[in-house]
Amino acid sequence: MAGYEVATVRPARAEDSLLRRLRRSRTLPGYLFLAPALIVTVAIMLYPLVFSLQTSFESYQLARPEEREFIGLDNYLWTIQSPNFLNSITVTLVFTAAAVTLEFLLGLALALLVNREFRGQGLVRTMLMLPLFLTPSVVGLLFVRLYYPGDGLVPLFLSLFGLDNNFPLLGTRATALPAIILMDVWRTTPFMFLVLLAGLQSLPQEVIEAAQIDGASPWQILKGVTLPLLMPLILVALTIRGMDAFREFDTFMLLTGGGPGQATEVISMMAYILAFRAYDIGRASAVAWVILILVLIFSVFFVKKLRDMQMES
């Protein structure tokens, strides 16, 4: 009996081992073909990080590269103590909070309006998604023309209300940042709209119908049913959009270049100015790593919130 058991077990184990070796032999060529692309990708991503981390601890002037020397945390201390850094962080936080909040509210409102059957629904959705097909550089150049004093569309529209159409919207400290926020809201509200619309269409209709039968008003359904069910998706959308807004650079560069003065100098602009105008690669690298650390803290906070909500549910 024991010999019979051994005779039946051993072939099964040998067969399993043969199958594992066969699978490995089939997957090995695939990994070999992927290896060059993976190595290049990792090198392209890893080398700039390592280089910038190294230079952030050095006194490295691009005009005098031979005078590089290790100075420890001096670049980070200078960054934290710099008045320009405090101004850049303030501008970045104001821009991120205002833009993301407006985009979320408008995206939610549009998603609630479109989340029903009506004639021309597909056309309306397509038109609302059009800004997503434009690159930030194209949108920046478009709004430079729209804001142009005198014959820009926005100044001409404001002149209907008795305002001066020669007023430089991008050249005044009081209006430059709100003008860029308005542009960003136009450009990225469709992202919020698509994410929230997908979430609304995936909600269980039985819960909403039960609330309607119980006599709940549309506002009560939105506040007590729809938003709590959408909250995990809302946190994901806010995290993605918040990280993008915090790192925004190209539209600021195209519209104002950080001006007038430093009214629109976000932290990414500060790193750019240090690197390519002051040629101080060491301090620019330190600012870039501060940006990375702040974005990581921001993302970890929202991911922790999302995980806590999932555990509670």
pLDDT band of 22, cuts 50, 70, 90: low
User: What is the reported pLDDT for 151?
Assistant: 84
Question: Is residue 14 predicted with pLDDT exceeding 60?
Answer: no
Bigger pLDDT: 273 vs 116: 273
Phi and psi at residue 266, to the nearest 5°: -75, 170
- The per-residue pLDDT for range 24-75, each reduced to its tens digit, is 666 777 778 888 888 888 888 888 888 999 999 999 988 888 888 999 999 9
Question: Is residue 261 predicted with pLDDT exceeding 90?
Answer: no
User: What is the reported pLDDT for 99?
Assistant: 95
- The per-residue pLDDT for range 282-303, each reduced to its tens digit, is 999 999 999 999 888 888 887 7
CA dihedral angle for residue 40, residue 42, residue 43, residue 49, rounded to 10 degrees: 150
- The per-residue pLDDT for range 78-99, each reduced to its tens digit, is 999 999 999 999 999 999 999 9
Question: Is residue 185 predicted with pLDDT exceeding 90?
Answer: yes
pLDDT band of 191, cuts 50, 70, 90: very high
Task: Sketch the domain layout of the chain as residue ranges.
Answer: 2-55, 75-312
Q: Please state, in angstroms and as integers, the Cα–Cα distance from residue 115 to each residue in 83, 100, 121, following that order.
A: 47, 22, 9
Q: Which CATH architecture has domain 75-312?
A: Orthogonal Bundle (1.10)
What single string gives the DSSP state of each residue in 86-117? HHHHHHHHHHHHHHHHHHHHHHHHHHHHHSS-
Average pLDDT of the residues in 208-232: 86
